[in-house]
A and B are shown apart, each in its own frame.
Chain A
């Protein structure tokens, strides 16, 4: 407390000795407090020729250490706690039933992702369009399917399928789709339609936000050049919109991947459904089965993230002067940098004159 008050006073009155209470003069901070005049006898010009010592962050290092220790503890339990039953995880990981569920998850997600993206563009265009009927209908569609939980959409769809021998589901403003019921295909079709109906509402908003993010000047320039409307959208607006659409939509796809676990409502078992189903037959294997599902979801999400990175990189062209390095390039560059910095700190040790720009922060001064 006294140290703080000293520092404040020293800062406010320029460190005049007469203003500092005699008892606090010895506080070590005084010499470095802002506003303190330079001690006599220092040759600033000489100091100016040496590299500035960067501020150290000891608290950061402590926090990092604590976090790493905690993390290590958790990782350790993964190996030492027998409840994980890793041998059973290994048995189930590639079990045909699990792979079948995984396949359904992938197929349902992939189809729904494509359908939802295209449908999302259509609904987004309807929402943006000047046509009041179209924009109201699009708004209503988004409102309805963002409000109704996916689980209800699926139950409702499944029951509609039971009530009618065939059921027509129309993509908004699109063609009607006639689906025969009670075949395996129709279960998948119902599931995909359910997922898509819900997902289109979200992707429409993602697409719309992307389109709105495109500078108005781009629309004007395209108009002024007399480019036909459709080409204005596909060639000028959409590619630029995709820059902000892609990250948001990949988020959606990852959500979709997990939302497909609700497909058991249309009597389909995806990855998680299979795990639940097997868990009831093998009550002692429930935990390993849940671990298997976790592993697969991690694998799938990682794969999607990698593809996302490259798609984003593709759409970043023109937006940044230099494209960011791929992780692989970064690893190679990082290794090269390390080698160079190691060499340079060695050389700086021997001769203080030559200093490479790659010298490491902790290098020898």
Chain B
């Protein structure tokens, strides 16, 4: 199961500084999108807006036609109650740059936490969690605590945790940036296996090679403006915008 993401006029500013300037973006269901851009370009903000971790000043995000975090009230968009937002987030998995695993819970407890909180039967959540851990190659670490794992292993647990609710969408916020270079591959490998699983994937990353190989769609963001988008062959191989070229030159240098 999957759903298309529609972002319209996403606008956000922090204390006078505008970080998103009316971004419009449509991502087809089941595709893999990589968002590129220099640091401070607003790409993480855009990603976090998709599951309403960032509240937009203007604009909306819709998932399979359902508005996320807001609802229509008269001729305005109005923020939803926290409880409803939390429920909507169960359709959207999120993987953080710094993993943000719960350090006081074991690996297995981390993965079953969300389903159990949502009322899934304990035994079901547990067997599903073990299946997910097997999928990311960490079934033997189920009873370890996160700090006993390497960074790459922790990020794989975080991916399993994000998958535990069987979401339609998975968001990755620079999932390999906090990792030692030799650990990047194992995490990217896991993400690669998710591509084509039917889930809509959105990945903020600097891994151009990964984008070229896995992405269906590449988006380039700069200073809160969507400068360029298209298939990786176009955007990465023949960027039209000079700033995109600049960026790619620096990253690939």
Query: Is there a contact between chains A and B in the complex with CB atoms less than 8 Å apart?
Result: yes
Q: Which residues of B contact A25 (CB under 8 A)?
A: none
Q: Taking CB as reference atom, which chain A residue is nearest B146?
A: A318
B208 CB → nearest A CB, Å: 26
Most buried by B among A227, A229, A239, A321: A227
CA distance A177 to B89 in the complex (A): 41
Contact A221–B117 (Cβ < 8 Å): no
Residues of A within 8 A of B165 (CB): 225-226
**In the assembled complex, A58 has its CB within 8 A of some CB on chain B:** no
Chain A residues, CB < 8 A from B103: 240, 318-319
Residues of B within 8 A of A88 (CB): none
Contact call B96/A229, Cβ cutoff below 8 A? no
Q: How far is the CA of A200 from the CA of B225 in the complex (A)?
A: 50
Instruction: Scan residues 94-129 of chain B and give those whose CB is less than 8 A from a CB of chain A.
Output: 94, 96, 98, 100-106, 113-114, 117-118
Interface range, B side: 20 to 34
By a CB distance below 8 angstroms, the chain A residues around B117 are 225-228, 231, 235
Bound-state CA distance A321–B147 (Å) is 6
State the main secondary structure of chain A at its contact with B. helix
B51 within 8 A of A: yes
- Answer yes or no: B240 CB below 8 A from chain A CBs: no
Q: Are B161 and A225 in contact (CB under 8 A)?
A: yes
Whether A224 touches B89, Cβ cut-off 8 Å, given contacts A235-B113, A240-B103, A318-B104, is: yes
The proximity string for A residues 9-25 relative to B, scoring 1 for CB distances below 8 Å and 0 otherwise, is 00000000000000000
Of residues 143 through 188 on chain B, the ones whose CB sits less than 8 Å from some CB of chain A are 145-148, 161-162, 165
Chain A 233-257: CB-based contact to B (< 8 A → 1; otherwise 0): 0011001100100000000000000
Contact A240 B53 (CB under 8 A): no
Instruction: Kindly identify which residue among B96, B104, B146 contacts A217, using a CB–CB cutoff of 8 Å.
Output: B96
Stretch in contact with the other chain, from B17-25, B30-38, B80-88, B191-199? B80-88
A227 touching B113, Cβ below 8 Å: yes
B86 touches A228 (CB 8 A): yes
Let me know if A91 is at the binding interface, CB within 8 A: no
Report whether A221 and B100 are in contact in the complex, using a CB–CB cutoff of 8 Å.
yes
Asked whether B90 lies within 8 Å of A226 as measured between CB atoms, the reply is yes
Who on chain B is nearest to A224 by CB? B94
B102 touches A218 (CB 8 A): yes
Contact A223 B100 (CB under 8 A): no
A215 nearest CB neighbor, chain B only: B100
Question: Which residue of B86, B87, B148 contacts A321 across the interface (Cβ within 8 Å)?
Answer: B148
Bound-state Cα–Cα, A320 to B51, Å: 32
Across the interface, do B89 and A320 meet the contact criterion of CB distance under 8 Å? no
Which residues on A sit within 8 Å (CB–CB) of B147?
318-321
- Provide the residues of chain B in CB contact with A220, threshold 8 Å: 53, 96, 100
In the assembled complex, the Cα of A228 lies from the Cα of B82 at a distance in Å of 9
A217 engages B87 (CB within 8 Å): no
Q: Does A315 contact B (CB under 8 A)?
A: yes
User: Given A223-B53, A227-B114, A217 and B98 touching (CB < 8 A)?
Assistant: yes
With the chains together, A220 CA to B101 CA distance in Å? 11
Given known A-B contacts A217-B98, A220-B96, A226-B165, A317 and B86 have beta carbons under 8 A apart = no
Closest to A240 in B: B104
CA distance A221 to B106 in the complex (A): 15
In Å, the complex CA distance between A317 and B148 comes to: 11
Report chain B residues within 8 Å CB of A215: 100
User: Whose C-beta in chain B lies nearest to the C-beta of A242?
Assistant: B104
A67 to chain B, nearest CB (A): 39
In the complex, what distance in Å separates the CA atom of A215 from the CA atom of B101?
11
Query: B residues within 8 A CB of A231?
Result: 117
List of A residues within 8 angstroms of B88 by Cβ? 226
CB A244 to nearest CB in B, in angstroms, measures 13
Please provide the chain A residues from 198 to 236 with a CB less than 8 Å away from any CB of chain B in the complex: 215, 217-218, 220-229, 231, 235-236
Residue of chain B at shortest CB distance from A314: B104
User: Would A223 and B86 be within 8 Å (CB), given that A217-B98, A315-B104, A319-B104 are in contact?
Assistant: yes
Q: What are some 9 contacts across the A-B interface (CB < 8 A)?
A: A217-B98, A224-B51, A225-B94, A227-B86, A231-B117, A235-B113, A317-B104, A319-B103, A321-B147
Mark A residues whose CB is within 8 Å of B: 215, 217-218, 220-229, 231, 235-236, 239-240, 243, 315, 317-321
**Given A226-B114, A240-B104, 11 more pairs with CB closer than 8 A:** A218-B102, A221-B102, A223-B86, A224-B53, A225-B162, A225-B165, A226-B117, A226-B118, A318-B103, A318-B106, A318-B147
